[in-house]
């Protein structure tokens, strides 16, 4: 029995009873309505795969205009829905009109049970196919928009950044798996995009997945996809992130946040280069270039038993370490100038510049939040700027000391953000140590870092 839902609309109760009995043999959900005015509210409450719609509802009216009206409303509300028109009047012109208006097919009363059932099954199949294709199309367009909407800008002239770009250029020419490591805010995703854009897969999509933000319960559905009926509310087949990246690049951010059971599932995919959607036994081959990123010491996690050694071997054919901003002081003003230009244009404040004291303050600060912290500091300064010159007072830190990082000045959120940044710096990016020092779980820490964009 199919789990598709069928909606039947006819003003004759005996017709509704007959169709209910017939369709219930093949479909688990059959809903009958005697008044067409209830159609739209019903469709807003539940997703249907097909609608059987009578063409006449008012006594002595056989024109079919009522049916055509509701057909247009159905098509307008749900273009993917298949509508089968039913009528006792075999007017070929009316049938052609209904098909032109978007009906899937047209049947006459009295109907042949086998033919009607075959028509409804075909209508259901078409509707499900439309939804699957459109769902995949929307996901793909969304992913492409995410890729194309983020131009790559890696800025830096320091020796460490020059060496980094040489490494990126060499790695991008291959199809090797890459592990990008570094503290939060150093630009790991930016480097991943640069590797993708310099690779032979640059014309294909790059799919980014923040593994720290994917709950364990949704991991398989998000990454592997699912088929209709695999679980409650799985109305249609859905392509997972791994399948969507086929032919392109798959970027796993914060891979160190994966639990051991999920690490095992991911390892199986990487070894077999295939997936199976949740609820399906069909094996789908995948062709991806894998790039992972982590701010954690994965080797230390292997030693303590919280990360699989075999998975680490799979993902770090090449390892790229991003230097923290405090180790590339020569790039601070270069980056600040770039962000100043970007935000001056965004907020329509042309001609802004940093004075000497502001530049000194920026060079002196240790930047526990790295490039991301610098970016937000410049953006805030631009927003609050009243003249053409940004002074040192625009920045909420004291370059001579880190004591202000733990001060109680400002709002509760500002204090919490500074405290977390300070803890990250003191623990040198070890998130487990940071969480322990702050007395919160690692997931709570990660959520707060996302909130404050640290």
Class for the domain spanning 2-132: alpha beta
Q: Is the pLDDT of residue 330 over 80?
A: yes
d(CA 452, CA 432): 18
pLDDT at 400: 41
Q: Is the pLDDT of residue 347 over 70?
A: yes
Tell me the per-residue pLDDT of 70-116, one tens digit each, with 9 for 90 and over: 888 888 888 889 999 887 766 667 777 888 888 898 888 888 899 89
Tell me the sheet residues that pair with 179: 292, 319
Q: Do the Cβ atoms of 6 and 52 come closer than 8 Å?
A: yes
pLDDT at 401: 39
Q: Do the Cβ atoms of 315 and 292 come closer than 8 Å?
A: yes
Tell me the per-residue pLDDT of 126-160, one tens digit each, with 9 for 90 and over: 988 888 777 666 666 655 555 444 555 688 889 99
Tell me the per-residue pLDDT of 402-437, one tens digit each, with 9 for 90 and over: 444 445 566 777 778 878 887 887 776 777 778 877
Q: Do the Cβ atoms of 213 and 253 come closer than 8 Å?
A: no
Nearest-Å Rg of the Cα atoms of the chain is 30
pLDDT at 217: 83
Residues 6+ positions from 163 with CB-CB distance below 8 Å? none
3-state helix, strand, coil in the chain (%, to 5): 50, 15, 35
Question: Please, what's the b/e burial string for 1-33 (b: 16 or more CB within 10 A of its CB; e: otherwise)?
Answer: ebebbbbbbbbeeebbebbeebbeeebeebbbb
Class for the domain spanning 150-321: alpha beta
Q: Do the Cβ atoms of 6 and 28 come closer than 8 Å?
A: no
Give the mean pLDDT of 291-313.
Answer: 93
CA distance readout (Å), 80 to 26, 43, 44, 299, 303: 21, 12, 14, 50, 53
Q: Kindly state the DSSP code that residue 403 receives in the 8-state scheme.
A: G
Domain boundaries, the chain: 2-132, 150-321, 326-452
Give the mean pLDDT of 182-190.
Answer: 91
d(CA 343, CA 186): 19
Q: Is the pLDDT of residue 119 over 80?
A: yes
Alpha-helix residue ranges (DSSP H) falling in 80-203: 92-100, 113-148, 159-172, 188-198
Q: What is the dihedral of CA 84, 87, 93, 98, to 10 degrees?
A: -30
Question: Please, what's the b/e burial string for 306-317 (b: 16 or more CB within 10 A of its CB; e: otherwise)?
Answer: bbbeebbebbbe
The two three-digit tokens of residue 266, written as one number: 């991911």
Tell me the per-residue pLDDT of 206-249, one tens digit each, with 9 for 90 and over: 999 988 888 888 888 889 988 888 787 777 788 889 999 999 99
Is there a shared CATH topology between the 2-132 domain and the 326-452 domain?
Answer: no
> Scanning the structure block, which residue is given the tokens 């322990």?
436
**Domain 326-452, second-level architecture:** Orthogonal Bundle (1.10)
């Amino acid at each position: 029995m199919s789990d598709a839902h069928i909606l039947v609309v006819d003003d004759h109760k005996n017709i509704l009873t007959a169709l209910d009995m017939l369709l219930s043999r093949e479909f688990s959900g059959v809903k009958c309505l005697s008044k067409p005015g209830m159609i739209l509210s019903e469709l807003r409450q539940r997703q249907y795969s097909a609608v059987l719609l009578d063409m006449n509802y008012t006594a002595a009216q056989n024109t079919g205009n009522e049916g055509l009206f509701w057909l247009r409303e159905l098509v307008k509300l749900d273009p993917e829905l298949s509508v089968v028109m039913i009528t006792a009047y075999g007017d070929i012109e009316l049938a052609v009109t209904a098909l032109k208006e978007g009906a899937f097919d047209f049947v006459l009363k009295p109907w042949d049970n086998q033919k009607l059932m075959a028509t409804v099954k075909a209508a259901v199949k078409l509707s499900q196919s439309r939804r699957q294709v459109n769902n995949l199309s929307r996901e793909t367009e969304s992913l492409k928009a995410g890729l194309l909407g983020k131009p790559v800008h890696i800025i830096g002239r320091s020796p460490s950044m020059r060496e980094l770009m040489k490494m990126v250029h060499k790695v991008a020419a291959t199809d090797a798996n890459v592990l990008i490591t570094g503290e939060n805010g150093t630009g790991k995703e930016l480097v991943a995009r640069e590797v993708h854009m310099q690779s032979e897969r640059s014309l294909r999509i790059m799919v980014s997945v923040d593994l720290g933000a994917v709950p364990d319960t949704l991991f398989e559905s998000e990454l592997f996809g699912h088929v209709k009926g695999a679980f409650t509310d799985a109305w249609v087949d859905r392509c997972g992130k791994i399948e969507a990246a086929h032919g392109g690049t798959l970027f796993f951010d914060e891979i160190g946040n994966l639990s051991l059971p999920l690490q095992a599932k991911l390892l199986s995919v990487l070894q077999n280069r295939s997936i199976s959607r949740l609820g399906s036994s069909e094996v789908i081959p995948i062709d991806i270039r894998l790039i992972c990123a982590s701010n954690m010491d994965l080797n230390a996690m292997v030693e303590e038993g919280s990360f699989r050694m075999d998975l680490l071997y799979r993902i770090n054919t090449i390892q790229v370490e991003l230097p923290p901003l405090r180790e590339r002081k020569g790039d601070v003003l270069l980056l600040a100038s770039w962000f100043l230009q970007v935000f001056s244009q965004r907020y329509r404040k042309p001609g802004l510049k940093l004075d000497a004291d502001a530049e000194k303050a920026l060079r002196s600060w240790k930047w526990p939040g790295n490039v991301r912290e610098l970016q937000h500091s410049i953006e805030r300064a631009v927003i609050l700027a009243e003249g053409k010159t940004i002074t040192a007072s625009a920045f909420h830190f004291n370059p001579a000391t880190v004591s202000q990082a733990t001060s109680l000045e400002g709002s509760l959120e500002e204090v919490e953000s500074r405290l977390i940044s300070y803890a990250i710096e003191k623990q040198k990016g070890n998130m487990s140590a940071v969480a322990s020092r702050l007395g919160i779980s690692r997931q709570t820490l990660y959520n707060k870092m996302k909130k404050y964009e640290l």
